[in-house]
Every structure is written in C-alpha cells, then in structure tokens.
Amino acid sequence: MKLLHTSDWHLGARLGRHDRQPDHEVALRGLLEVAESERPDLILHTGDLFDASRPPYASLGLGITALQRLAALAPTVVLCGNHDSPALFRVLDQLAGATAPRRLWFLTQPGPVEFPNIANVRVAVVCVPFIPPSAIADFASDDVEKFQGVYADGVRIINDRFLDKASLSVGERGVVLYAAHLHVDGARPGKSERRITVGEDYATHVQGLQQALYCAFGHIHDPQLLPGGIATGRYAGSLIPLDFGESEQVKQAVIVTLGDDVHVEPFELPSGRPLKQFQGSLREFDRRAENGGFDGCILKARVESDNPILDLADRLALRSPECAVFELANAVANSKVGQIGDPQASEQEEPSEIDLFKEWRETAAPATATKAPAEQVHALFEEALDSVRSESLSDLGAKEIGHRADEILNSLASRRQGVS
C-alpha cells in the first residue's frame, strides 16, 4: 500500500502586494506529477488548505481543481487547519459526498475515516483537525464541566479513544493511520515570519501514537520527522515558502510505502519564484542585478550607501525588469537627521516664531499677503504672540481705531446740528 502525504498549501496567500497564486500553480503541478508517477492508494492532506477562512475565488477554484485531480488517482482526505473555515469545509464535504463512488472528504471534527478495501487491505485513518483550546473539552469529555486537563491531555484522550476504536474495527490484518493538524512538543517551527499557533498552550505529545503505522502531521511549515522517535511520521511542511523566513526550506511531498516495514520517501517540489534577500553595497547590488540577476524572484533588498540613492528603484528596474520587489530599502550612513540627545544637535538654536513668520511671508505666503507693510504686519504678529504668552488677549490696535471712529461720528453729528 502506498500513501501520499501533503499539507499546508495556504492557497490565497500573499507576500506584501504579490499574489502567490503563480507560485502555487507551479508547486501543484509538481505535486500532481509526483502523484501521477507514484500512483498512491490513499492521499492525506493535513490541513491549512487555504490561507484564510474566506479564500479568493481564484484560490478556491485552484484548490478544488487540484484536489479533484488527486481524488481521481486515489481517495483523498483533507483536514481542516487553523487557517481554514469549518463552515466552508462542511459545505465542500457535502458537495464531495454527492458523488458516487465517493473519493474526497473534508473533515472538521476528530474521528476515524474507514476504507474497507485499499490495496486489498482494510484501512482506518484517525483524523484530528485543528482544535482550538476553547473547544478541546467538548471533544475530550462527554461532561465538559468535569474535564480538568490541559490542551495536551484533551488531545491524548481523543487520540486514545479513536485509535483504539480504529484498531478494533480493522482487526489484526488491517492498517491504522493517523493524521492531524497539531503542534507536537519538540517540533522545529523553523524561521517563518508568519504567526503560527505553537507554544505550551498548543503543545501535544506523540505518546500513544505507536498504534498507527504512519502519522501524517500538518501545521509546522518546515518539513521534518516527528520528534522523539516514538512514532513513525512526518510534518510534510508547507507547499511553497510563504515568507522570507522559509526561503531556505526545501518543500516536499511525502510518499509512504507500507509493507513488511514502513518506507518514507520525501520528494522535492518546485516552489515557483524564489525569495531572495540582499544586503550590501550599491556596487555589489548593481553587479548582482546586472543582466537580470534578480529576474524571476521576489526580492527583499537593503542597499547600504554613504549618501541617499535617489534612483535606486530605477536602477533595479533597468537591470532586472522582471524582478518582483517586496521591499527595497536604502540604508544611508551620512544621514542628516540628528540623533536624540546629540550634543551638536542641541547646540543649534531653534528659529523663533517671528523669524519663521518672516521667512513664510518672503517664501511661501500668497502674493497678496506681501502687499501689507512688512513692519506693521510683523509688529502685529509679535503683539499677538506676546498676548498668548501672557494669557491676556491683545486688541491688535482695534481700540485705537474705535476711538478715532467715535471722534469722527461725534464731529459729523455736531455739524448736522449746526446746519439744522
């Protein structure tokens, strides 16, 4: 019997403004080539089919098409990961269940899936999709109020219950497999920049999994064996490098052959556009970029220079026009920005408000503003500043103008009385 194990496709993922669908398409073509060449009898996808609970339509279509092609080769089981939507998976499972004979399953709750005849063997797959800590008691105990354990205790109870059930169901000549989207204590998360739900609150253990001939795990993106050497199994890893922390990881699909013993063979997959990082001088950057040196990659670059490089993006576009830029930064040594607490910066006297106002009138004010007499305008502005500082509101000459207006009005009234 032969098994194909894949995981963590994260369809719909983006890296900055770059859609990763072209890279997913390349990787999925490689995965399908492995499946068509190896002809597995069963296919397990261990979670995070999509990157978000509401994947884009294009990503949804890509995932369904790829799974249909895999299911045409062998029965295919897909677990719900922490990035997937249980509601969407239930709908997809209903649609998959409408076909006969059924070839595709989408699982949102723990439990065994049984196959009466795969390669002339009765097979049961104990499936444990991602379970949030708030829900672990619901699955681990019939009486939620009586469950007192931590997350790992709940997972162990679930594992023991369903592994025992699966072993009884298939009998001595049958095959029991285990598939989960969980973090096992001791697994190597890698250097991914993405937030992954790992840590003590989510840590589980491999004790008790020996009943399964092979344990297929998803959730950790760096492909690796299960820690501890107690249970035979692997993390298949993510389908493509999802960020620059994963750029050096070799992405894989896993073929497991079950016979007199268990033979596990990883197959390297293409990853689409490589994620390249650069840090160094402008000369080295130009040399690397010359003749399209960064073409066909997604680039994160930090170019170091003594003075600002104003045409850095243009230089890259000229030399590597097919480069997809995630980040392009210029680290300048001779920065004009003073450091906080710099003695030289503190010794420079700040210009006064009146000096700034005079500069504004000379350089930036509308042309109509400069027609007023400069000395009078400056004097009024300074008087207004003084009134603010002293918290006494100045009339800015309005009182004197009022007195003069009263004198003129009184004089006019006296003349009118004399005329009458």
The domain tally of the chain equals 3
> Are residues 264 and 283 both part of a single domain?
no
**Higher per-residue pLDDT: 256 or 291:** 256
Name the phi and psi angles at 414, rounded to 5. Answer: -65, -40
Domain with 157, as residue range(s), is: 2-268
Question: Could you write out the DSSP letters of every residue in 289-311?
Answer: HTTTTTTTSEEEEEEEESS--TT
Contact 243, 275 (CB under 8 A): yes
Confidence check: pLDDT of 388 > 90: no
**What is the pLDDT, as a whole number, of residue 416?**
67
Predicted confidence band of residue 366 (pLDDT cuts 50, 70, 90): low
Residues 6+ apart with CB under 8 A from 379: none
pLDDT in tens, 30-60: 999 999 999 999 999 999 999 999 999 999 9
pLDDT in tens, 373-385: 677 777 777 777 7
> Are residues 75 and 219 both part of a single domain?
yes
> Are residues 123 and 210 both part of a single domain?
yes
| Pick from 195, 196, 189, 184: nearest CA to 159 | 184
Residue 191: DSSP 8-state: T
CA distance 250 to 268: 7
pTM of the model: 0.78
> Are residues 310 and 222 both part of a single domain?
no
| Pick from 160, 181, 73, 169: nearest CA to 115 | 169
Count of Cβ atoms closer than 10 Å to residue 397 Cβ: 12
**What is the pLDDT, as a whole number, of residue 419?**
58
**What is the pLDDT, as a whole number, of residue 147?**
84
Q: Is residue 284 part of a domain?
A: yes
> Are residues 198 and 294 both part of a single domain?
no
Contact 203, 152 (CB under 8 A): yes
Count of Cβ atoms closer than 10 Å to residue 369 Cβ: 11
Q: What is the CATH number of the domain that holds 46?
A: 3.60.21.10
Q: Is residue 347 part of a domain?
A: no
> Are residues 226 and 283 both part of a single domain?
no
**What is the pLDDT, as a whole number, of residue 414?**
72
Contact 378, 352 (CB under 8 A): no
| Pick from 154, 130, 159: nearest CA to 141 | 154
pLDDT in tens, 129-182: 999 988 999 998 888 777 878 899 999 999 999 999 999 999 999 999 999 999
Confidence check: pLDDT of 386 > 80: no
> Are residues 132 and 221 both part of a single domain?
yes
Judge residue 46's burial from the number of C-beta atoms within 10 Å of its C-beta, 0-12 exposed, 13-18 middle, 19 or more buried: buried
Q: Is residue 344 part of a domain?
A: no
> Are residues 200 and 216 both part of a single domain?
yes
Q: Is residue 285 part of a domain?
A: yes
> Are residues 191 and 326 both part of a single domain?
no
| Pick from 122, 111, 6, 108: nearest CA to 66 | 6
Residues facing residue 177 across a β-bridge: 125, 214
Count of Cβ atoms closer than 10 Å to residue 22 Cβ: 12
> Are residues 168 and 247 both part of a single domain?
yes
Residues 6+ apart with CB under 8 A from 354: 378, 381, 382, 385
Predicted confidence band of residue 396 (pLDDT cuts 50, 70, 90): low
pLDDT in tens, 399-410: 666 667 677 777
DSSP H helical segments within 350-419, as ranges?
353-363, 374-390, 398-419
CA distance 127 to 44: 10
Predicted confidence band of residue 190 (pLDDT cuts 50, 70, 90): confident
Q: Is residue 340 part of a domain?
A: no
> Are residues 171 and 40 both part of a single domain?
yes
Predicted confidence band of residue 67 (pLDDT cuts 50, 70, 90): very high
Residues 6+ apart with CB under 8 A from 10: 20, 48, 50, 51, 83, 238, 239, 240, 242
**What is the pLDDT, as a whole number, of residue 338?**
52
Q: Is residue 348 part of a domain?
A: no
**What is the pLDDT, as a whole number, of residue 420?**
54
> Are residues 381 and 302 both part of a single domain?
no
pLDDT in tens, 234-276: 999 999 999 999 999 999 999 999 988 999 999 999 999 999 9
Name the phi and psi angles at 111, rounded to 5. Answer: 155, 165
